[in-house]
Amino acid sequence: MYGCSDAKARNEFARTRDGAAMAAIPATLAPGNTVKPCPLRAPLVVTVVGLPCRGKSLAAHKVARHLSWRGESAKVFTVNENATNETLSEISLFFKEGNNVAIIDGMHLTRASRQTVATFCCEAVFHHLLIEFTCNEKCLQENVADTVQFYRNLDQNIDWERRFRESNDHHAPQFEPCSALEGPLITVNNSEDSMYHSVTARGVRGAIQTDILGVLASPVIRQQTFYFSRHGESEYNVLGRIGGDADLSSRGMKYAERLARQLGGPGSAPDCPRPKVVSRNYKSNPKYISTNSIWTSELRRTIHTVQNIPGPRAAIKDLNEINAGICEGLTYEEIQERFPQEFAWRDQDKFKYRYPHGESYLDLLQRVDSVVQALLTNTDVLVVSHQAVLRCIMAYFKGVKPDDVPYINVPLHTLLIVRSYGYDFVVETVPLKVECVDTYRIQPKVKYRIPYRR
């Protein structure tokens, strides 16, 4: 384990710190003691460090949401100031239940408070990662204003601004910044402006910690709105065929007009949401330039769906529909007839099932990760894509577990509006009332079995 088995770092820590710090090193960490190395897949405890209103909670929840979406089992444990023994017991139980990432969202301003968690991790053979948050005065003011607004909605009789200022003044003198000698450490200097937002890392190892570092690398934008829609009904949808690059049906074209009216196109109401116009350059396949605000796949049914909506646009390959491989262009009945074994396997585990020469939902989730990360650095983006892709993206905002992703209902001719609300997202479903087929295939209750053949 990093902060545990690294005797050199511990000795260094003991040499360079004063008596109080030395006394804080537990017996299990004392030089010469034998410690168990931490297996690669051991659970991870993340200790969040920082004064009030430095953006700790937003970031902690962003990390948990991302890891859970990617198939890890992460949870935020919110504490007043420091993790207590009760918190640590809860975490032990959480790991015993098979989960693997616990994020303790508190202040942990003193070395001693962090050492308590480090000792717990060392004894239980868990990985431990510290994340320290700071921010500049401008960012602090914005954070305070935001938090005050949030709490004011809950209780108007309290002077929340004064309360946060006092809490900050009270805690500031206690703050002992983290030292890399305390173990793996990520420091985040928060700003909504990506040019001022900075992150440093020491001792970070392994896929999960590297993932966390990636999530923290871009700033958390406090107020975000995204619009999502599938393409208008396609000629293939009408025939019940999957995949391909068919164009819109006549009802699909009607939907394209209706969507444009909803989003600032011809005939729209003056107060309807309009994509921000920053640059009018059409990029054929850029890597998520932040000035683009209408993102489609490269397939014509999505490109034609947004053709009447004003604003800069980008066609992004990663937003293309799931590749159905040998089943492209077939109906479900044809797949069942021609490839019964494949059909049955898909029903058994739709999330992990990969079409021969094609993709699985698991592959797709990996593919759209970069799109989601790019979205999170933006706001007011309209994404027009496909059923399977939007299921994967909506799973992030709705907090849906991987196995349930292939069954999220994303109907045709419906606008989904996602708004951030603190560290949560609220999804509004707006059916635009243009007739279309229903492409949803329910999860079979009794899983399909292949008849035994002699």
Binding site for ligand G3H (CB under 6 A): 242-243, 321-322, 324, 386-388, 406, 441
Consult the annotation and say whether 378 binds a ligand: no
DSSP state of 81: S
| Nearest-approach distance from CB 428 to ligand G3H, in angstroms | 22
Minimum CB–partner distance for residue 328 and ligand G3H (Å): 9
Is 233 annotated for ligand binding?
yes
End-to-end CA distance of the chain: 54
**What CA dihedral angle connects 109, 114, 116 and 121, to 10 degrees?**
150
| Paired tokens of 120 | 């717990």
CB of 346 to ligand G3H, least distance (A): 8
Q: Are 255 and 434 in contact (CB under 8 A)?
A: yes
108 vs 241 by CB, closer to ligand G3H: 241
Q: Quote the CA–CA distance of 323 and 131 in Å, as a whole number.
A: 39
Measured distance CA(27)–CA(31) in Å, rounded = 9
Q: How far is the CB of 12 from ligand G3H (least distance, A)?
A: 54
Q: Which two tokens stand for residue 243?
A: 């995949």
CB 204 within 8 A of CB 210: yes
| 236 assigned to a ligand binding site | yes
Nearer to ligand G3H, 232 or 275 (CB): 232
Smallest CA-to-CA distance from 413 within 254, 238, 243 is with: 254
- 333 annotated ligand-binding residue: no
Q: Which is nearer to ligand G3H, 65 or 391 (CB)?
A: 391
We find the least distance from the C-beta atom of residue 308 to ligand G3H, in angstroms, to be 24
- Can you give the length of the chain in residues? 454
Shortest-Cβ-distance residue relative to ligand G3H: 387
* 176 annotated to bind ligand: no
Output phi, psi for 415, to 5 deg.
-95, 130
Q: Which is nearer to ligand G3H, 3 or 243 (CB)?
A: 243
Cα→Cα distances 68→175, 388, 397, Å: 31, 19, 11
Q: Which is nearer to ligand G3H, 39 or 356 (CB)?
A: 356
**Gyration radius of the chain over CA positions:** 25
Rounded to whole angstroms, the Cα distance separating 102 from 87 reads 10
Q: Has 237 been labeled as part of a binding site?
A: yes
Q: How far apart are CA 206 and CA 392, in angstroms?
A: 25
Q: Give me the least distance between CB of 300 and ligand G3H, in Å please.
A: 16
User: Considering the complex, what minimum distance in angstroms separates the CB of residue 136 from ligand G3H?
Assistant: 45
Is 413 marked within a binding site? no
17 marked ligand binding residue: no
Residue 132 or 318: the one with the smaller Cβ distance to ligand G3H is: 318
> One-letter amino acid identity for 215?
V
Backbone angles phi, psi at 393, to 5 degrees: -70, -45
Q: Which of 152, 354 has the CB closer to ligand G3H?
A: 354
Q: Per the annotation, does 230 bind a ligand?
A: yes
- Give the residue ranges of the annotated binding site: 230-237, 280, 317
- Give the residue ranges of the annotated binding site for substrate: 230-237, 280, 317
